[in-house]
Amino acid sequence: MTYTLLKSLRCGAVAGLLCLIFTGCNLQKDIDVELPAVPSQLVVECYLEPGQVPRLTVSETVPYLSSPTPTLLTDVSVVLTLPSGQKEAFRFTPGLDTLTQKFFTHKGKNPLVAKPGDTFKLDVQDTQGRHVTGTATMPALVPIDSIRWKFNDKSTEERRAYLLVKFQDPAATADFYRLQIHKDSISKDPNRDFELDDRLTNGQLMTLGTSYRYSTNDTLLVTLYHIDQPYYRFLQSVNDAQNANGNPFAQPAAVRSTVEGGVGVFTILSYNRKQVIVR
């Protein structure tokens, strides 16, 4: 009797499920969400580098669902204030950096002269009243102490080496770093790129490593950037925003700009770069 009742309940449940499937029941409901209209902001990207003519890229934000086609803004003025107080106006000369393969819109006139502790100011504005400002101080150079690698014990086809990069962290200061490793050329995307701070290793000899990923005769360009905290936070926020984009389970993340009045980054690059050939 009990078996018969259970069998009947199961058959009824299955029949109900089949009925739901074959009748084409649609449990999905489309909802139109009206996104608020947000005024576009200027987007600034400027990395000053000692010995190089300053370059800068200016664009503007677009609505979230719009096409990411960049707009070339022709009504933007750019002024860089040097540590001496002298002001240098950038020219609107769009071009491509042949070394990094990055596009720029404005360019200075003279190679940058900068030393650790020097502070620069950036002023960007257009004819629509949008105004972006930024301040950046050049960090001290932190040299790479050594670069070592070691191969695994696998066959020739699977033989790979990991890399160890060592450097001395300055004591008594909060320091932030970015390590990039490129194969063959920095014009390509790095195969290793991450940021870190010295909260747990202040004043110590720091060691950064990779997985087994490099082959015999690989030419590697290892770059250690000593960066300031605003740039470090910017990089971290960009990573968080990229990871959250399109992920329904991730917490939304906003980019933490190093400039005011708009979006973007203004910083001075202080780095040590070494080339090694894995043998």
Q: pLDDT in tens for each of the 279 residues of the chain?
A: 434 433 443 444 445 544 444 455 566 677 766 666 678 999 999 999 999 999 999 999 988 767 767 788 999 999 999 999 999 999 999 999 888 888 999 999 999 999 999 999 999 999 999 999 999 999 999 999 999 999 999 998 999 999 999 999 999 899 999 999 999 999 889 999 999 999 999 999 999 999 999 999 999 999 999 999 999 999 999 988 888 776 766 676 788 999 999 999 999 999 999 999 999
Residue 206's H or E segment, with its range, is strand 205-209
Domains defined along the chain, listed by start = 42-137 (2.60.40.10), 144-255+271-277 (2.60.40.10)
Dig out the tokens for 137 from the structure.
Answer: 């101080």
- Angle subtended at Cα 115 by Cα 114 and Cα 120, rounded to the nearest 5 degrees: 50
Render pLDDT for 10-21 as a digit per residue (tens, 0 to 9).
444 445 544 444
Give the closest residue to 175 by CA, choosing from 112, 224, 118, 120: 224
DSSP state of 128: T
The helix or strand, by DSSP H or E, that contains position 236, with its residue range, turns out to be: helix 229-244
Phi, psi of 7 (to 5 degrees): -65, -40
Nearest 5°: the CA angle 259, 129, 255 is: 30
CA 231 vs. chain centroid, Å, equals 10
Q: What is the pLDDT of residues 180-217, one digit of tens each?
A: 999 999 988 999 999 999 999 999 999 999 999 999 99
Query: Phi/psi of residue 49, each to 5°?
Result: -140, 120
Nearest-angstrom CA–CA distance, 119 and 143: 21
Give whole-number Cα distances, 241 to 189, 199, 238, in Å: 19, 24, 5
The dihedral region occupied by 213, where left means phi > 0, alpha psi between -120 and 50, and beta the remainder, is alpha
Question: Do the Cβ atoms of 229 and 174 come closer than 8 Å?
Answer: yes
Distances (CA, A) of 122 to 161, 223, 226: 43, 26, 21
The tokens describing 270, both together, are 């202080």
User: Which of left, alpha, beta for 117 (phi over 0: left; psi -120 to 50: alpha)?
Assistant: left
The confidence score (pLDDT) of residue 248 equals 67
Which pLDDT belongs to residue 243? 80
- Residue showing tokens 């960009």: 238
Instruction: Give which of 92, 95, 96, 94 is closest to 79, Cα–Cα.
Output: 92
- Write out the two tokens for 115: 């030393």
Nearest to residue 218, comparing CAs of 156, 279, 149? 279
Q: What is the CA radius of gyration of the chain?
A: 27
Supply the pTM of this predicted model. 0.83
pLDDT of 23: 52
Phi, psi of 234 (to 5 degrees): -60, -50
Q: Which residues contact 254 (CB under 8 A, 6 or more apart)?
A: 237, 241
